[in-house]
Structure 1
Amino acid sequence: MATDYAKSEKPDIVLVDDRDALAANHDLEKSSQVRIIDNFTVLGLSEEDAAFYDSFTEKQRKQIIRKVDWRLVPMLAILYLISQLDRANIGNAKIEGLSEDLHLVGNQYNIVLALFFIPYILLEVPSNVLLRKFRPSVYLGSLVTAWGIIMTLHGVVNNFGGLLAVRLLLGVFEAGFYPGAIYLCAFWYMPKELAVRIAYFYCTSALSGAFSGLLAAAIALMDGVGGYEGWRWIFLLEGIATTILGILCFFFLVDSPALSGKWLSPDEIRFLELQSFVKQGGRFSVQNAEKKLNWFEFKMVLTNWRLYLQAYLLLCISACSYGTKFTLPSIVKAMGFTNNTTAQLMTVPAYVAGALSSIFFAYLSDRFLWRMPFIAVPMSLITIGYAVVMGFNGKLGGSHTGPGYFALVLTCMGIYPVHPSVTSWAANNLAPANRRAIGLAFCICMGNIGGIIGSFMYLDNEAPTYPTGFGLSLAFGASGVIAAIVLELSYMWANKQKSKIPEEEVRARYTEDELLRLGDKSLLFKYLL
């Protein structure tokens, strides 16, 4: 029977990412209390558990991870796809007549877009705290079902006030999904496997733009059916699909190895629990008991200045991403594709290119276990793409249609790889697990402020040149490159400073409980670049 580490009393462990430095200390490596496992220093792991963990070959480990991939990633990918469809389909509904039928004037459409992000931002951290109190399948399933019902109600609103109300509620229930999904992935996967798994489901953010255009073009043909306009059917049908998926979460979304059922063997469950114990950085019994609000961890998150740089990178990408999603159909229409259906379909290639780019850069990031270049290069693509657009003064029609459209495709190729690399970078450099859950949610919610900015970047009265939208997108791309480089240099400097103090001196200065409490601030914790 698999060992239940959530209930057993296991000694503390301390995480270190520098195997070579530790291996140089032969006395430490030979100690019965210290073992180096998968580049982590594990204190107090029993001989039996260590031998069992080490007995798994690389091939066996890959087979287990593939099993996890097939059970976890497709479900998260589908859910994230539907979440992106549900928040971005309002852009497709707009060119099908939403603004005219609801009599929206001035910047009311932009206000509707921005309102979604207010509860979305405020509730992400509390939601991840709540997630640790419930089974993920139950908690996330409840969220998805609720926002599916709200999405369906979008199709029956009759005025500006009604649209505001359903967008507000949509933000409330969608808030917890993405940070919860990232935390769930961080629990199941080792750091070197994380970025590409996040990219597998995050790339559906790009594909959602493609599907949104395709679905909107098809569903809009239902205009008049049942007495409803075509844009209403977009919300009604997609909302019903979301509700069904939310109910399926209760049965198909995986929770933890111990609750995995029959799809994992007892040995595989034991291996995954040991793997979690190795990388989590603490005693599972303590972490399980500390599901109450931990103000010390909140303080450590709020005083971690590097997290604000991580959040700024996400803000840059969120502003560019949401600005593009909410406005790309209108931009393409202004390029000369005046037929609504053609304009919807012409958004598809850009989003497909963004999805492929997301997987490609994430694979390289995990392959080299290095995050910064695979953030800075895509940010550079955003800068180049919008520089081309600004070079045309935002006038993308006529002879500029081809180059302008290519530039927009280039920006999508830059937008979608950044989020997986940034979130996995943050997750890899936060410990222990409570701090990781809070820090990830904090980083993502701060980054989602970019959604509010993106909602107001592209103003109807500036169409079709959109100087504010294109100019801000260019600025976000360029400043993101600088922020990624500064963050990399700061981690390098911190690792260098930590390495100056001998490990024996650190252990003499701090107890193991103190080192565990310090987490990523411990002198033994090495940051991942």
Structure 2
Amino acid sequence: MGFIQEKSDATLETQALDVPNEKVEVVDLVDEKYKQVSTSDSSFSSSASVTSTAIDVEGYVSNLEWTDKEESKVVFIIDTRLMPFVLLMTFVLNMDRTNISNAISDNLPANLGFGITGVNTATLLYSIVFTVITLITSSIAKRISPHRWIPILMCAWAIVTWAHALLQNYSGFLVVRFFIALTEAGFIPSSLIYLTGWYKTNELATRLSWFWGIQAFASAFSGLISFGIFNMSGIGGLYGWKWLFIIDGIITHIIGFIAIFYVPAGPFYTSGLLRGKKGWFTERQRQIAVTRIIRDDLSKVDQKAKVTWHDVKISVLDTKLWTHLLITFTSMMPHTPVATYLPTLIRNYGFSVTISNLLTVPAAIINLIISIAVGRSADKRGNYAFHALFGVIWSLAGFLALEFLPGNAGRWNFYAAALFVASSPVWHGMHIAWMSSNLAPLGKRTIALGAVIGAANICGVPGSQIYQASDAPRFFRGNWINFGVMLTAGVLLLTQHARYVLTNKLRQKKWNSFSDADKQEYLKNTKDEGSNRLDYRFRI
């Protein structure tokens, strides 16, 4: 993602963009504070020496040079010190988000006096509230700082998780689902904003694949521990599913409390009570950690910049952003009924409640391994849309298997088909990395990171209605709907890919037709911003 560079009287940071069949030098804008210029270099490496003007960021050194080995060491430290804890926090989040499906399989609805329609209504409520909060939480995270906001959210939803143990009726159930959505919704957008301050653009797809892959693993772990926790039913006069929420809430509160002291503000500020007096980096490594991020994307100079109404306006008018949101909406919608009812589906095939929850574990493990492999490949080779299509085709094949299995196929064949659908690789994180790399300026990207999480959850509104009681237990009609929606996601992916490729070619053609004077005039006077600029090239 970024801008082509042209010669000028000043110089700014440059970065390289690898796209199919071309490599262009690029530069990003920071609230129009900086002029677009160029260096005479035709390529970029991590050791490139570049000068800068008006960049005042602690740890940033304009003429800093480093080797690939030094940068790899810095990334290794981030991967081993920061990323595991971020994954632990998202693991806890998704364990708390998916334990509802395990609780449903343990007769939570019957115990509280409602049925599948009540479950769908609660899922719809959760999705709406979650989506609304994701749209505003990014601005809050920017003001407070993600490293403070994330622990606050964790401690808040831990309390609400415990509150499930106090439920006595359906009205109470709707209330706690409202508040669990209210407190959980801000975590993922805040985490995405936080991670973009640590990792370069071409490093994010792999890390976000881990981020979403570990969520699937959390679902499996929730199913695994529920196998034992449900046997606690009757202890203290509580149902087994109530003990599940109590234990999950305690775990969340412990991790949230640790996060207060462990999560650092940024690459330059890693010293602390649990991180050591000297922090994670040497002085030189701190400079590399900061400088490499700014050179990769100049819009990250002011990470604390407030989101403005102008940012909202240009985001709403960006049709490419809307396409990414539609991709997210359609690709994630089929996962809602599958995730909600997987243990119940397996139980309907003739397995006990505890065995049904245990049998959800392999799907998450398969999902995690394949999702990481696909994300790593996308970071290395580009062509994000084609990598995402692998997951689309996987899901389509799974829904067809559920649809056409004969009624006498046997419970293990039905389980295999359900396992195949549920283990479909998650490319949501990879898609977000692709979207984020193609949005500028920073304010638009910040809004988009909240909006894309909102899209991934508002799809739960129609998604919660796909599997209906009248269609149980095979859900033939529901699986055809899932098939059609996922097919639509595949078409949108190809459309977005083609649009980026065509736009890059047209912009390059027009740019090459300019004289040097015309180019300088454009760089000096254009009112185009960020990814709408003629000298901006999209990551493919």
Secondary structure at the aligned position of 2:409 is classed as: helix
Distance 1:345 1:283, change over 3 A: closer
Bigger mean CA deviation after superposition, 448-457 or 506-515: 506-515
Aligned equivalents of 1:168, 1:509: Cα separation in 2: 54
CA distance, structure 2, for counterparts of residue 527 and residue 259 of structure 1: 32
Per-residue deviation at 1:169?
0.6
Aligned-partner SS, 2:465: helix
1:507 & 1:14 partners in 2: Cα distance? 18
Partner of 1:327, secondary structure, is helix
- 1:239-278 deviation per Cα after TM superposition (whole angstroms, max 9, x unaligned): 1111111111111123212222211111111112212222
Query: Would the alpha carbon gap of residues 42 and 463 (structure 1) be closer, same or farther in structure 2, given more than 3 Å must change?
Result: farther
Distance 1:499 1:304 in 2: 20
Distance 2:166 2:201 in 1: 45
Quote the residue 2:495 is aligned against.
486
The letter of the residue matching 1:182 is L
Displacement of 1:508 in angstroms is: 2.3
Aligned to 1:7: none
Query: Structure 1 pair 39/522, CA: closer, same or farther in 2 (3 Å)?
Result: farther
Paired position in structure 1 for 2:539: 528
Q: CA deviation at 1:36?
A: 4.7
Within the candidate set 272, 285, 293, 2:289 is matched to 272
Are residues 145 and 225 of structure 1, via their aligned partners in 2, closer, same or farther at CA, if it must alter by over 3 Å? same
User: Partner letter of residue 458 of structure 1?
Assistant: Y
Query: CA shift at 1:173, angstroms?
Result: 1.0
The answer on 1:509 being equivalent to 2:527 is no
What is the deviation of 1:42?
6.9
AA aligned to 1:315 is F
* 1:481 Cα deviation after fit: 1.3
Question: Partner residue of 1:108?
Answer: 118
Is contact 1:15–1:525 with CA below 8 Å preserved after alignment? no
SS at match of 1:133: helix
Identify which of 265, 271, 296 aligns with 1:255.
Answer: 265
Once the two structures are TM-superposed, the CA of residue 322 in structure 1 deviates from its matched residue by 2.3
Q: Distance in 1 between matches of 2:174 and 2:75?
A: 43
CA distance in 2, matches of 1:283, 1:378: 31
- Secondary structure in 2 matching 1:155: helix
* Mapped pair 1:180 → 2:180: no
Q: Which residue matches 2:274?
A: none
Q: Which residue identity lines up with residue 281 of structure 1 in the other structure?
A: L
Contact 2:11-2:38 at 8 Å conserved across structures: no
Q: 1:106-185 counterparts in 2 under 5 A?
A: 107-185=117-195
The answer to whether structure 1 residue 438 and structure 2 residue 444 are counterparts is no
Question: 1:429 corresponds to which letter in structure 2?
Answer: N
Corresponding residue of 1:456:
465
Alignment partner, residue 5 of structure 1: none
Q: Which residue of 2 aligns with 1:363?
A: 376
Alpha-carbon distance between aligned partners in 1 of 2:168 and 2:300, rounded to the nearest angstrom: 54
**1:481 & 1:49 partners in 2: Cα distance?**
43
Q: Secondary structure at the match of 1:465?
A: coil
Who is 2:301 aligned against?
284
Task: Give structure 1 stretches of 5+ with no counterpart.
Answer: 1-9
**Change in 2 beyond 3 A, CA 1:392/1:506:** farther
1:317 aligns with 2:331: yes
Greater Cα shift, 361-370 or 504-513: 504-513
C-alpha displacement of 1:11: 7.7
Alpha carbons 1:378, 1:418 under 8 Å: kept: yes
Task: Report the equivalent of 2:52.
Answer: 44
The 8 Å contact of residues 35 and 43 in structure 1, kept in 2 or not, is answered as no
What's the counterpart of residue 412 of structure 1? Answer: 422
| 2:317 equivalent in structure 1 | 303
Residues 71-129 of structure 1 show CA distances to partners (whole Å, capped at 9, x for unaligned) of 22112211112211212211111121211110014611111122111121011121011
Change (3 A) 1:318 1:28: closer
Query: Is the contact between residue 335 and residue 401 of structure 1 (CA under 8 Å) also seen in structure 2?
Result: yes
| Pair 227,318 (structure 1): closer, same or farther in 2 beyond 3 Å | same
Tell me the secondary structure at the aligned position of residue 116 of structure 1.
Answer: helix
Q: Is the 8 A contact 1:120 1:175 kept in 2?
A: yes
In 2 relative to 1, CA 106–478 (structure 1 residues): closer, same or farther, beyond 3 Å?
A: closer
Specify whether residues 99 and 83 from structure 1 end up closer, same or farther in structure 2 by C-alpha distance, changes over 3 A only: same
Distance 1:125 1:520 in 2: 21
Structure 2 equivalent of residue 65 of structure 1:
75
Question: Could you tell me which of 79, 93, 105 is aligned with 1:83?
Answer: 93
**CA 1:239–1:364: 2 relative to 1, 3 Å:** same
Q: Which residue of structure 1 aligns with residue 256 of structure 2? A: 246
Please, what TM-score do these two structures have when normalized by structure 1?
A: 0.88
Letter in 2 for 1:301: S
8 Å CA contact 2:268–2:289 kept in 1: the answer is no
> Does the CA-based 8 Å contact 1:29-1:36 persist in structure 2?
no
Letter in 1 for 2:252: T
Cα gap change, 1:445/1:43 in structure 2, threshold over 3 Å: closer, same or farther? farther
**Which residue of 1 is the match for residue 385 of structure 2?**
372
CA distance in 1, matches of 2:300, 2:105: 54
Q: Tell me how far 1:436 sits from its aligned partner.
A: 1.3
Please state how far the C-alpha of 1:444 moved relative to its aligned partner: 2.1
Distance 1:100 1:144, change over 3 A: same
Gapped regions of structure 2 (runs ≥ 5): 1-9, 27-36, 272-278
Q: Given the superposition, is the C-alpha separation of residues 267 and 316 from structure 1 closer, same or farther in structure 2, using an over 3 Å criterion? A: same
- CA separation of 1:271 and 1:167: change in aligned 2, threshold 3 A: same
The code of the aligned residue for 2:363 comes to A
Aligned residue for 2:4?
none
Identify the residue that residue 6 of structure 1 maps to in structure 2.
none
Instruction: Pick the aligned partner of 1:353 from 361, 366, 390.
Output: 366
Flag the 1:12–1:439 CA change in 2: closer, same or farther, 3 A: farther
Q: CA deviation at 1:13?
A: 5.4
Given residue 80 of structure 2, which amino acid in structure 1 is its aligned partner?
W
Q: State the partner residue of 2:396.
A: 383
Runs of 4+ in 1 over 6 A off after TM superposition: 39-43
Residue 52 of structure 2 aligns to which amino acid in structure 1?
A: G
Does residue 1:204 correspond to 2:204, yes or no? Answer: no
Percent identical across equivalent pairs?
22
Report the 3-state secondary structure (helix = DSSP H, G, I; strand = E; otherwise coil) of the residue aligned with 1:259: coil
- Residue type of the alignment partner of 1:510: Y
Specify the code of the residue in structure 2 equivalent to 1:270: Q
Q: Whole-Å Cα distance in 2 between the matches of residues 507 and 41 of structure 1?
A: 25
How far did residue 518 of structure 1 move? 0.8
* Greater displacement, 309-318 / 344-353: 309-318
Give the superposed CA RMSD: 2.8
Pair 1:335 & 2:323 matched = no
Quote the offset at 1:316 in angstroms. Answer: 2.5
TM-score, with length taken from structure 2: 0.87
Report the equivalent of 1:17.
17
Mapped partners of 1:418, 1:35: distance in 2: 30
